[in-house]
Chain A
């Protein structure tokens, strides 16, 4: 298509996930002529995640968020479990208040995109973008099949598989060290069973993370989130480790989990309504492109490597959305300066650095590095479960806590190393 002037846009956004939809919504409200290109049939139809979203950043971006968004349940119970063949040790936190909710990413993305559309953005689905259109080193639009579409700025919100960035050598090809694979079941149980079995009121949600045997002791973990009538049950494994150590099909690892206690009892009578998978960035600051902006373009969300995995929680949706929001602000600022040069768009990076997004990314970077080390996922569950077992399963002499711990640590590596990990986990860098 050679563009009649009517179809030239101020901004073209690739991808209608949380990052792209937030950018589109914010830009449309600022009066920009925006087009969002999404390869899925409907926005959300290609998106998949674990199941819990931190609300505050989204409330800042979207007007009416709390009342309109497809929120399933507000997280009121948090459980972290260490699992071995011997048993499970869990830590639970319960609270009256809540800053996060459970959700389906397909529905949440669709809602965000519909907000962008009502704000005036043009949403074009069923269209796969094949390339960024570059002229003299400057992004001037996008290419799809034999068609071109021109725009003053391109926002790349293509998610973790950065096919476009790779094609343009903006980022190198993804390596197994940089990503983790998530596979997930959505299982319908009905509201009553969920409330009864997980000890919840109708609006209350559970976020449960498990490590250890659940992934064959590989770096990663399992998660369970309760939605209104279903639960999301899945596992996440770091690909580099999975390549070396997984000895059976990844689906079987998920099925082993679903068909083992305590899930046999908790999920009994449930029916599978969806099985899906998705990659997630895992390398912390290392996976971020050197520059998140250039002449005529910005990179947001997963494509920019913005994701925090702390082992007990994965945060990406709020970071993606907020980076989209900041990209919109940066575009507005560059517009007021008269052009979308790399220099004028560089304020995007400043805005990110000043926001919670980069502050959090940096704060948790050392924890994320730790999370990719395999010993955490083997040693901790073994020691914790071993110690607890010795504390409670005895025949005559009840052991003292320290004795039990010492006993279970025997031959399991350096205590000093563990202490260091513990310090990293608690206070960050």
Chain B
């Protein structure tokens, strides 16, 4: 227990929002992710909600909510969706995440 508290002091967890805020962004006004949430009805896996590293997909009262602003452009949502509900393309004009280190 004492060891654990010591660990806690050493290093704090960073919330996902704050981690995303460490990045440089130039977010497009138009979304580059579109989900046909009709298709999500009955999805038992909802892999997008825990595998999207940007946390763009959440379930609220059984309904899928999504955003595109924190998209890291990896394409995971497209690959894991068992219902083919995600239409995903890269943003235009170089917009979106701007990796400085990568």
Contact = CB atoms under 8 A, between A and B. Distances in A.
B26 A273 contact: no
Q: Dominant SS at the B interface?
A: loop
B19 A265 contact: no
B94 A126 contact: yes
A261 B96 CA distance: 34
A374 interface: no
Taking each of A106, A125, A163, A275, which has the highest tally of chain B beta carbons within 10 Å of its own beta carbon? A275
A41 B76 CA distance: 22
Contact of A44 (B52, B72, B80, B102): B102
Interface of B: 7, 10-14, 16, 18-20, 22-23, 26, 45, 47, 49-55, 72-76, 78-80, 89-102
A185 interface: yes
Interface residues of A, number: 59
B14 A255 contact: yes
Contacts of A277: 53-54, 72, 74, 76
Interface in A223-254: 230, 232, 239, 242-243, 246-251
Contacts of A263: 11
A274 B101 contact: yes
Interface in A109-161: 109, 125-126, 128, 145, 160-161
Contact of B11 (A179, A243, A247, A258): A258
Contacts, number: 146
Q: Dominant SS at the A interface?
A: mixed
A46 to B, nearest CB: 6
A249 B99 contact: no
B102 A125 contact: no
Contacts of A104: 100-102
A275 B22 contact: yes
Nearest to B19: A275
A128 B95 CA distance: 10
A46 B53 contact: no
Taking each of A128, A145, A230, A265, which has the highest tally of chain B beta carbons within 10 Å of its own beta carbon? A128
Contacts of B45: 243
A69 B100 CA distance: 16
B11 A267 contact: yes
A128 B92 contact: yes
A269 to B, nearest CB: 9
A274 B74 contact: no
A244 B75 CA distance: 18
A106 B101 contact: yes
A248 B47 CA distance: 10
Given A181-B53, A274-B99, A276-B97, A261 B89 contact: no
A41 to B, nearest CB: 3
Contacts of B101: 104, 106-107, 186, 230, 232, 273-274, 276
Contact of A243 (B10, B22, B80): B80
